[in-house]
Amino acid sequence: MANHILTIKNLTKIYGDNVIFEGIDLTVDEGDTIVIIGPSGTGKSTLLRCINLLTKPNGGQIWLDDLEITAADVDEDNVRQHIGMVFQNFLLFNHLTALNNVKLGLVKVKKMDKAAAETKAFQELERVGLSDRAHHYPGQLSGGQQQRVAIARALAMDPRIMLFDEPTSALDPELIGEVLEVMRKLSLAGMTMVVVTHEMGFAREVADRIVFMEKGSIVEQGSPDDLFYRPKFPRTREFLWKITELYGKKEEEA
């Protein structure tokens, strides 16, 4: 049996009277790509934010490898550097070049010396096909390029797991492909990934497991083939095909 990199048990998040999600159980094994899908407002993004401790859950536990990261005495900053996060709206550091965006964490968090950090940052940009944009500022890059730099920035920290929060939702259709291609390669290279997305083409091709969430709980999870062709619940089938139709068109145009 593969190693669990991420284990989530009975996780609950409530804002005021509003239950975002409740009783979430999820495990992610080394090298797996998990795609989380579901209607908006079902707590997918909040779940990712809980995993890298940007939001505190109200109940339940999360383990990264053998470390319980929801424990009270955990060093949150230290945990976060082992979890890569890619955001819907890129969130590159606006005042730094692409290279320095990738390099900063290496120098300030990992305390690498500057020359080594620069070499590594450059390699990471090469990996996402942007070494020729190393000295451009975010404002000089397209959305797709910005998102690839954001992926490089997260990868540079050598994370145990990468979280993607709707990484292509803010992109023009013709820029989505280049970002998905980087993610596909990353998955093939064995990176452990949890991806929240509506890109069903990506989910079917790349996911080891698709998790369908609705109204704050996991309805069903399984291989792409199981969910698309042999779903246990009619609701799963309905949602999957509706989204495929909606977004499939966009993919063909791109």
Cα distance between residue 6 and residue 23, in whole Å: 16
Shortest distance, position 85 Cβ to another protein, whole Å: 4
| Cβ atoms 22, 216 nearer than 8 A | yes
Shortest distance, position 101 Cβ to another protein, whole Å: 9
Q: Of the two residues 83 and 171, which places its CB atom closer to another protein in the complex? A: 83
Shortest distance, position 150 Cβ to another protein, whole Å: 8
Q: Of the two residues 51 and 200, which places its CB atom closer to another protein in the complex? A: 51
Q: Of the two residues 153 and 209, which places its CB atom closer to another protein in the complex? A: 153
From residue 125, alpha-carbon distances to 21, 22, 83, 146 in Å are 36, 38, 19, 11
Tokens of 244: 């495929």
Cα distance between residue 239 and residue 254, in whole Å: 23
* Sequence-separated (6 or more) residues with CB below 8 Å from residue 238: none
Tell me how far apart the terminal alpha carbons of the chain are, to the nearest angstrom. 39
Shortest distance, position 62 Cβ to another protein, whole Å: 16
- What is the 8-class DSSP label of residue 110? S
Of 60, 59, 57, 3, nearest in space to 27 by CA: 3
Cα distance between residue 178 and residue 183, in whole Å: 9
* Alpha helices by DSSP H, the chain: 44-51, 76-80, 98-108, 114-127, 143-156, 173-188, 200-206, 224-229, 234-253
Q: Of the two residues 20 and 243, which places its CB atom closer to another protein in the complex? A: 20
Q: Of the two residues 139 and 234, which places its CB atom closer to another protein in the complex? A: 139
Tokens of 218: 């996991």
Shortest distance, position 97 Cβ to another protein, whole Å: 9
Shortest distance, position 230 Cβ to another protein, whole Å: 37
Of 239, 253, 175, 232, nearest in space to 36 by CA: 239
Q: Of the two residues 51 and 203, which places its CB atom closer to another protein in the complex? A: 51
Q: Of the two residues 7 and 142, which places its CB atom closer to another protein in the complex? A: 142
Binding site for another protein (CB under 8 A): 52, 54, 77-78, 80-85, 87, 89, 91-95, 104-105, 108-109, 136-140, 153-154, 157
Shortest distance, position 32 Cβ to another protein, whole Å: 21
Distance of CA 154 to the CA centre of its chain: 10
Q: Residue 13 forms beta bridges with which residues?
A: 21
